[in-house]
Structure 1
Amino acid sequence: MRLEGREGSKNVDDRRGRRGGLSGGTKTAGGIGLGGLIIAIIIMLMGGDPSEYLGAANSGVSTPQPRTSPAPSLENDDPNFRIVSVTLRENEKIWGQIFPQLYGREFKEPVLVVFEGEDRSACGFASAATGPFYCPADQKVYIDLQFADLMRQRFRAPGDFALAYVVAHEVGHHIQNLLGYSQQVSQARRRSSEKQANAMSVRLELQADYLAGVWAHYADSASKLLEDGDIREALVAASAIGDDAIQKQSQGYVVPDSFTHGTSEQRVKYFNAGYQSGDAKKETLDYFFSAAEL
């Protein structure tokens, strides 16, 4: 990524160096120990609505007041912080331009919360073990930057654009929330069997991958953000966190009915489709919830 000279986002709530008002324990709101969570769950939760898994949506948990800033000293900060801040800013610029053109209304920018260890969200507790996620209740993306190290070391998905893909995927969930897709899926899941609910979650996640690809299309063609090899970094990351790859790594076998994010092949396919087309028209996004086979 061409980071030099690019500004970071003003919508970054930097909570590093504090625990978000939490005690020093290692439990979630539901009392589930985080230290022993297997790696499959870490990634399975990446990008999804944590309220579906933590059972804590709208639980009345108070959140720390945001401390957003223009991050004037990005050049001297943690390289991973620079990547996520610039990526968010580039998402703001691109979606701020095309969202009104496509959907006839202004784009509401999300807030990116950067924390260490654990913190609070309107969807429940945020933890390094839950991975990056988007909370629709407060319209914020939560990320512990240690996840970048996990991507490089455990999943062999290095590179600055691998981390940018993760942030763009979460912004994709924000767009889904603004357009009503998240609410539709959440309501439908409550009326469905576990297998059907998982299938709907897969469609939502693949749509977010597609939207991340659309952003990459414009980041390349309009913003000139990308360098040679960046798209490959994103595709390697998408493949590494497919449900089948995670299950093979964690348990040695695959259970397709339990998939919630899509296979490695699907995640690569739909990120690349968004990147190649740059097409985020409403009818194109509706495809993911039609009878079409994904």
Structure 2
Amino acid sequence: MQWRGRRGSGNIEDRRSMGAAGAGGIGVVGMLAVLAVGYFFGIDISPIVRELDQSQQGQSGTVPLTQEDEQWGEFMSVVLADTEEVWATVLPEQADMQYQNPTLVLFRGAVQSACGTASSAMGPFYCPNDQKLYLDTDFFDMMAQRMGAGGDFAYAYVIAHEVGHHVQNLTGTLQQVNNLRSRVSQSDSNKISVLTELQADCYAGIWARQAQDRFGTLEEGDLAEAQGAAEAVGDDVIQSSAGRTPVPDSFTHGSAQQRQEWLMRGFNSGDMAQCDTFAQAGL
């Protein structure tokens, strides 16, 4: 992926030096183990992360960013800047509305958002209440080491997917989804959640197409990296990795095949109208 030497976004809020003792105290390997438990088994282990953090707060204060931390920050700043430029054009042209830039919050271990306290175990997420994306870069280590889905374009896909949720928030989709999910059964709520995630994948594909056309971002193998990441975070793959038989009714993000298909639909079409997962499902 060609990203070095390009403009970075100013909409980055770096909290990695704040309350980082817990992450530093257990080490990267330990943190990856904690992340893996929460991610693969669907368990919110934020209390464990908070306890680890609180138990060592008195031993150390702020932790300086390493050279690797700085490089991660630069990379994500450039990717975020690319999404800003792409959606500032695509949204007015295709949805007749202005794009509002979100903020990307970098954190370690656990974080406080307008949607509540969250831990790294929950993975990257978007909070519509404050229009911020939250990401712990240790998640990228887990993608590479435990999920076999490494590569800079795979990581860029993760950011673009969360930005896709921001686009859904701006267009009113998230509010409609939340209203609908509150009135249906758990099984139907899961299906609506899947449609929401697949649309965000499709929007990530639109970004990838535009990034290539505008900036010449893609290198050989980049699309395969993004598809590999989409496959790795498929509900069926995650459940199988946890030693469980995949149960489609419990899916909340979509199967590996669905996530790859919608990512590529966005990439091949570049058209938001082709990302209407809800209409295709008859909603």
TM-score by length of 1: 0.80
Instruction: Tell me which residue corresponds to 2:129.
Output: 137
- Alignment partner of 1:235 is 2:227: yes
Question: Partners of 2:73 and 2:3 in 1: how far apart?
Answer: 12
Asked whether the 8 Å contact 2:194–2:252 carries over to 1, the reply is yes
SS at match of 1:78: helix
Which residues of 2 match residues 122-161 of structure 1 at below 5 A?
A: 122-161=114-153
* Distance in 2, Cα, partners of 1:90 & 1:151: 22
- Is 1:111 equivalent to 2:100 in the alignment? no
Contact 2:39 2:123 in 1 (8 A): no
For residues 68 and 256 of structure 2, what CA distance do their matches in structure 1 show?
Answer: 35
1:41–1:130 CA contact under 8 A, matched in 2: no
1:107-166 deviation digits (Å, cap 9, x = unpaired):
000000001111100011121111100001110000001000000000000100110000
Match of 2:179 among 171, 181, 187: 187
Q: Paired residue for 1:280?
A: 272
Relative to structure 1, the CA distance from residue 97 to residue 15 in structure 2 (aligned partners, 3 Å threshold; closer, same or farther) is same
Partner residue of 2:87 out of 86, 95, 114:
95
Identify the residue that residue 203 of structure 2 maps to in structure 1.
211
Please list the CA deviations of residues 148-199 of structure 1 after superposition, one character each: whole Å capped at 9, or x if unmatched.
Answer: 0000000000100110000000000000000011111101111000000000
1:15 maps to which residue?
15
Alpha carbons of structure 1 residues 18 and 183: separation in structure 2 relative to 1, 3 Å? same
Letter of the structure 2 residue corresponding to residue 96 of structure 1 = A
**What is the alpha-carbon distance in structure 2 between the residues aligned to residue 165 and residue 35 of structure 1?**
19
SS at match of 1:6: coil
Note the C-alpha offset of 1:208: 0.2
> d(CA) in 1 for partners of 2:281 and 2:17?
46
Higher helix share: 2
Q: Report which stretch shifted further, 162-171 or 6-15.
A: 6-15
The letter of the residue matching 1:8 is: G
Structure 2 equivalent of residue 174 of structure 1 = 166
Shift of 1:41: 4.6
Structure 2 unpaired stretches of 5+: 23-33, 48-66
Contact 1:39 1:250 in 2 (8 A): no
Distance change (3 Å), C-alpha of 1:238 and 1:291: closer
C-alpha deviation, 1:252, in angstroms: 2.9
How many aligned positions are there? Answer: 254
Seen in structure 2, the aligned counterparts of structure 1 residues 146 and 93 have a Cα distance that, compared at 3 Å, is same
Q: Alignment RMSD, CA only?
A: 2.7
Deviation at 1:79, TM superposition (A): 3.1
State percent identity of aligned pairs.
45
The residue type equivalent to 2:196 in the other structure is L
Measure, in 1, the Cα distance between the counterparts of 2:40 and 2:248.
14
The aligned residue for residue 72 of structure 2 is: 80
1:244 is matched with which residue: 226, 236, 248? 236
Is 2:227–2:260's contact at 8 Å kept on the other side of the alignment?
yes
Q: Distance in 2 between matches of 1:35 and 1:154?
A: 10
* Alpha-carbon separation, structure 2, partners of 1:93 and 1:76: 26
Report how far residue 83 of structure 1 moved.
2.2
Secondary structure, in 3 states, of the residue corresponding to 2:111?
Answer: strand
1:76 CA displacement: 7.8
Answer whether contact 2:197 2:253 (CA < 8 A) is retained: yes
In 2: Cα distance, 1:36 partner to 1:241 partner: 12
- Pairing 1:3-42 to 2, within 5 Å after superposition: 3-19=3-19, 37-41=37-41
Structure-1 separation of matches of 2:68 and 2:229: 26
- AA partner of residue 72 (structure 2): N
Q: Is the 8 A contact 2:12 2:104 kept in 1?
A: yes
